[in-house]
Amino acid sequence: MTENLSTDPASTPEDERIRATMSSGLDRLMSVSADRVFAEPVRIGDRVVIPAASIEFSGGFGFGGDGNSNGGGGGGGHQAGRPVAIIEAGPAGVRVKPVIDFTRVGLTLAAAALTVWRASRKRK
């Protein structure tokens, strides 16, 4: 993927820095693996506990210019992770215990209540 970045002989050190940054970012984005979702297992007595997370990535970039060689570009990205479950394996079998994000639940309930309240006010 990174070999498609052009190498112009007249490029400046700034161009090279931008290419290196883009290359590094693309490499990290494309190297998603289970290591980012599942943490190291922890042994507790005869049980093994494995934390699991949800990982989200997003980003974008763009370039533009005009006929007078004026142009530029920019980009940005975001990544986030949050715990979603604990996997417990032991002599009794395997259990998956979800991790409840009470902040997210509370915000969802507040948004739903606000939506219902606003809808009821419009009808009057």
pLDDT at 88: 93
pLDDT at 8: 53
Question: By three-state DSSP, how is residue 34 classified?
Answer: helix
Structure tokens at 87: 């996997």
Identify the segments of the chain with pLDDT beneath 70: 1-11, 25-36, 123-124
Structure tokens at 112: 């739903």
pLDDT at 33: 61
Between CA 100 and CA 116 the distance in angstroms is 24
By the 8 A CB rule, do 37 and 80 touch?
no
Cα 59 to chain centroid distance, Å, stands at 9
Residue ranges of the domains in the chain?
1-31, 33-58+77-124
Cα 92 to chain centroid distance, Å, stands at 35
* pLDDT tens figures, 47-75: 999 888 888 878 888 888 887 878 888 88
pLDDT at 2: 43
pLDDT at 16: 81
